[in-house]
Structure 1
Amino acid sequence: MPDRTRAGKLAALAALYFAQGIPFGFQATALPVFLRASGVSLSAVGFSGALALPWVAKALWAPLVDRFGWERLGRRRSWILPLGALLSLTCAAAAFVPPSHHLGPLLALVFLMNLLAATQDIAVDGLAIDLLGRGELGPANAAQVVGYKVGMLAAGGLLVWASAWIGWRGQFGAMAALILLSTLASLALREPPSSEVEARDRRSVREVLATVLVALRAPGALWVVAFLGTYKLGEAMVDMMFKPFLVDAGFPPHRIGLWVGTYGLVASIAGSLAGGLLAQRLPLLAAVGLSSALRSAAMAGEWYLAAAGPPTEGAIIAVTVAEHLFGGAVTTTVFAFMMSRVRRSVGATHYTLLASVEVLGKSPAVWLSGALAERLGYAGLFALGTALSVVFLGMLVPLRERQTGGALSGEPR
């Protein structure tokens, strides 16, 4: 029975994260294609990336999700259900505003989708922290990452492909139905009652913020923040320039899409599952260290492709699969470690803040990657990215020495 209960819990969480991956998958992957096909300028297509801003800024309103909630329905569920319903309705509305005729309203609706999904994500993260024990962090974060990626794949790939037959309205109708059905999975989860300590920590938004500040001042907590803000710097700059490198090496876009967008995504999902198993079998920091070291070795393969001369198709596929496999494992193990460092009473705010640090930390590397590639060449950039990934592994040493920060408990340890 415990195994069935755990499996049901993980399946429900995966479904909720799947729902949140749908709008981001459409905005990040499908929207640029539809915009360009409708004659939108390249500068406008690039600017459409700003529609994902709610995912970066969600820490600003996360304290509201921790503070408010209807206990009778479930403090987290009282956010998840209405947000899911609104997200589904927004997708349904977008079915009637194709970019060729209603570009402004469509972009506004996509922004609203991201806002609703990002806010729901805060509540789902808080629910996961409320429900999970330490031994469940690995499998649960594998369910989180895989569910989200499959949602992105569905909206950014499969439904775009199917739109040739079901049309624009059919595509968004399917998105709306999938989101609504996935959101209902929260009804299968039983939220634990709040303790007196947890209730005290969130009596007001000010109390929520004060509790998070206390957690961030705990010994070793700033090392956690520093690690999360830097561990993907090297990977981010290499990933951003790897596809342009393949283009400049003479490979056509459709083959690059197959290798990176299909083989790579499948390998990334497999790596996320493997990372969950690793986080369950090993101490979390050991799992992070092992997966990070393997990821750095795979990145060295990308440097070798650029430095050794014209790359072959087989070598590109092997390196791509390895980098995505170990990159997926790193994401799961780091997210599990991050969740273990969260103070449960304000879990939605604390976890969202750490997740925002993770996103913002790698952004400068993405922004500067093109300029660095022009100055250093692809081989030099890939060497720099690999070196940074190895160097920042050193931050695991002080984390190992200072096991602190409120590991899924009411009080910081």
Structure 2
Amino acid sequence: MSPTVSHKDSSRQRRPGGYHGALELGATSPAIDGDDAAVRLGHGDTEALLPGPPPPPLGPPRGCRGELGNVLLLLFLYVLQGIPLGLAGSVPLILQSKSVSYTDQAFFSFVFWPFSLKLLWAPLVDAVYFKRFGRRKSWLVPTQYFLGLFMLGLSTQVDSLLGDGEGHGPDVLALTATFFLFEFLAATQDIAVDGWALTMLSRENVGYASTCNSVGQTAGYFLGNVLFLALESASFCNKYLRFEPQPKGIVTLSDFLFFWGAIFLITTTLVALLKKENKEVTPSKEETKGITDTYKLLFSIVRMPAVFTFCVLILTAKVGFSAADAVTGLKLVEEGVPKEHLALLAVPMVPLQIILPLIISRYTAGPKPLNTFYKAMPFRLLLGLEFAFLVWWTPKVKHEGGFPTYYYIVVLLSYALHQVTLYSMYVAIMAFNAKVSDPLIGGTYMTLLNTVSNLGGNWPATVALWLVDPLTMKECVGAQEQNCRTTIAAELCAKEGGSCLTTLDGYYVESIICVVLGFGWWFLLGPKLKRLQDEGPSSWKCKRNN
């Protein structure tokens, strides 16, 4: 659902997630942008294009305590990475509270695409660098400087971009362009950090990189989304943190951006001056082929019949969930549910999100992990109808003081059930990708498959948001010969003393259409997806010239 989401079904973003990062309860998904640390691009940087086994580690083995400084640095870099993700995820909720159209929300959803598309420029990040300064620092340091300066500059303009509330609404076009660049820089920093993680830690401790990724990104997203939305809310601060009510929250988006912009600049300077890249790693460990060869390899993978079929199926598999995942959270805000309350509901979900992959992996570890994906799909589709009912029910239980406790319990239980189905499908896809990936080019292969899976969640979310307004029917009440079919017509209705009344909400129409399409996919194409598990290993091996 995602009262605040992702993100992460796809993507972030996941959280499996692309746009979900903005809509799933501010949650932490299996991977904020949809990639797990073990299969992220940094992993492909070294493993993907190396045909031979890695060289043995040099020097005596070191325990985790001996590398505590490196582990803490990695953890902090991933926390910084989560801040832009969390901030971008909070903007749709802020825009919704300012009554922007769903067409505008669809346009802003492109902000969440860079993390799903980073494979397009990752080979460049991997291949171009200044050797004396360091392969990863050549990208990490300037990217984080740009992020810091970007946040400082944005802090002076973001209030006007969001609208001043005096007749000037949000400038969605400028916000989208600004935050798209913001997320592009964050995705580039992600590539550099993932690659550095594999050489910053010794071979016996490199497994801690995935822990740093998961914990750090989750903490950063929490700070940039859940904590920010709570402290930005005047009602939350007045109720829980103040003795005397104030018209604004403790912090504004401008304040938050300025603070973290300064943190980015200070910490990046310290990393640039004080942290050296690991010189113990032999040059061959990180050597990859040229940029052109890398792109040719990706293209050759996609052209294989089995991979091409998988890509087509997975790009269309999530259409049935798009209305529930992308629109439900925004609809709840529209119906009066405080956005900070939706964000805070992510907190009790954290233990569940930790336990679920461990439980589900027991059922996906066998030869046919996609069976779990297929079995979970109808339950997730039915939850889309339950979410639509939840939105319909919301205004009926609202009272002067807000919403009763039992309402939030129902929302929480609904979200928990949604997480069970979402993680079942996510873990199944990750297990299948790991199973079929050619071990000689495992990192590149698996990252490509995960990228396609992320895009399969991004584009339906954008389309679902865009279709809400066209599918919604309104009529002008109180003014004759006027209608509310367009924004201009609605303004004329208001000028004539009328008001636009919704007679059919496009969200409900879209929810039914998505569920029908989803079950159609499940009946007609689902068995075809399962049959891919019967393909022999040769169907997935890429022919390449060494």
Per mean C-alpha deviation after superposition, the further-off stretch among 91-100 and 142-151 is 142-151
Does structure 1 retain, via aligned residues, the 8 Å contact 2:79–2:217? yes
Does structure 2 retain, via aligned residues, the 8 Å contact 1:287–1:333? yes
Computing the radius of gyration over CA atoms, which structure comes out larger, 1 or 2?
2
In the other structure, the counterpart of 2:417 is 322
Of 360, 375, 385, which aligns to 1:303?
385
Deviation of 1:101 after TM superposition, in Å, equals: 7.7
In the other structure, the counterpart of 1:233 is 319
- Cα deviation per residue 1:175-227 (whole Å; 9 max; x = unaligned)? 2355568878996985954538x73x52x321221232344456743355345
In the other structure, the counterpart of 1:28 is 89
2:326 counterpart SS class: helix
In the other structure, the counterpart of 1:175 is 260
In the other structure, the counterpart of 2:185 is 116
What amino acid is aligned across from residue 296 of structure 2 in structure 1?
Answer: A
Structure 1 position 253 matched with structure 2 position 253: no
State how far apart, in whole Å, the 2-side matches of 1:358 and 1:98 are. 32
What amino acid is aligned across from residue 82 of structure 2 in structure 1?
Answer: G
1:354-393 aligned within 5 A: 354-366=449-461, 367-368=463-464, 370=468, 371=471, 378-379=511-512, 381-382=514-515, 384-385=517-518, 388=521, 392=526
What amino acid is aligned across from residue 319 of structure 1 in structure 2?
Answer: S
Note closer, same or farther for the CA distance 1:188–1:48 as it changes in structure 2 (3 Å cut).
same
Note closer, same or farther for the CA distance 1:60–1:326 as it changes in structure 2 (3 Å cut).
same
Note closer, same or farther for the CA distance 1:3–1:156 as it changes in structure 2 (3 Å cut).
same
In the other structure, the counterpart of 1:63 is 123
Of 216, 223, 227, which aligns to 1:158?
227
State how far apart, in whole Å, the 2-side matches of 1:326 and 1:185 are. 41
State how far apart, in whole Å, the 1-side matches of 2:534 and 2:198 are. 22
Does structure 1 retain, via aligned residues, the 8 Å contact 2:230–2:340? no
Does structure 1 retain, via aligned residues, the 8 Å contact 2:322–2:514? no
State how far apart, in whole Å, the 2-side matches of 1:225 and 1:137 are. 31
2:159 counterpart SS class: coil
Q: Give % identity.
A: 21
Does structure 2 retain, via aligned residues, the 8 Å contact 1:232–1:389? no
Does structure 1 retain, via aligned residues, the 8 Å contact 2:321–2:518? yes
In the other structure, the counterpart of 1:19 is 80
Structure 1 position 283 matched with structure 2 position 365: yes
Deviation of 1:90 after TM superposition, in Å, equals: 1.7
State how far apart, in whole Å, the 2-side matches of 1:129 and 1:393 are. 38
In the other structure, the counterpart of 1:86 is 146
Deviation of 1:276 after TM superposition, in Å, equals: 5.9
Note closer, same or farther for the CA distance 1:45–1:224 as it changes in structure 2 (3 Å cut).
closer
- Cα deviation per residue 1:241-275 (whole Å; 9 max; x = unaligned)? 44477689xx6423x864x5433575267425632
Structure 1 position 262 matched with structure 2 position 359: no
Deviation of 1:129 after TM superposition, in Å, equals: 7.3
Deviation of 1:375 after TM superposition, in Å, equals: 8.4
Deviation of 1:88 after TM superposition, in Å, equals: 2.1
State how far apart, in whole Å, the 1-side matches of 2:67 and 2:310 are. 28
Does structure 2 retain, via aligned residues, the 8 Å contact 1:342–1:350? yes
Report the TM-score, using the length of structure 1 for normalisation.
Answer: 0.69
Note closer, same or farther for the CA distance 1:46–1:301 as it changes in structure 2 (3 Å cut).
closer
Of 189, 213, 217, which aligns to 1:148?
217
Query: Higher helix proportion, which one?
Result: 1
What amino acid is aligned across from residue 227 of structure 2 in structure 1?
Answer: L
Does structure 2 retain, via aligned residues, the 8 Å contact 1:272–1:332? no
What amino acid is aligned across from residue 267 of structure 1 in structure 2?
Answer: M
Note closer, same or farther for the CA distance 1:270–1:317 as it changes in structure 2 (3 Å cut).
closer
Report the TM-score, using the length of structure 2 for normalisation.
Answer: 0.55
The number of residues matched between the two structures is: 402
Does structure 1 retain, via aligned residues, the 8 Å contact 2:161–2:175? no
- Cα deviation per residue 1:94-139 (whole Å; 9 max; x = unaligned)? 2233432897987665343222112222334445678999x99999
Of 388, 398, 404, which aligns to 2:532?
398
Deviation of 1:60 after TM superposition, in Å, equals: 3.4
Deviation of 1:360 after TM superposition, in Å, equals: 2.7
2:260 counterpart SS class: helix
Does structure 2 retain, via aligned residues, the 8 Å contact 1:139–1:273? no
Note closer, same or farther for the CA distance 1:158–1:404 as it changes in structure 2 (3 Å cut).
farther
1:337-352 aligned within 5 A: 338=433
Note closer, same or farther for the CA distance 1:45–1:277 as it changes in structure 2 (3 Å cut).
closer
2:129 counterpart SS class: coil
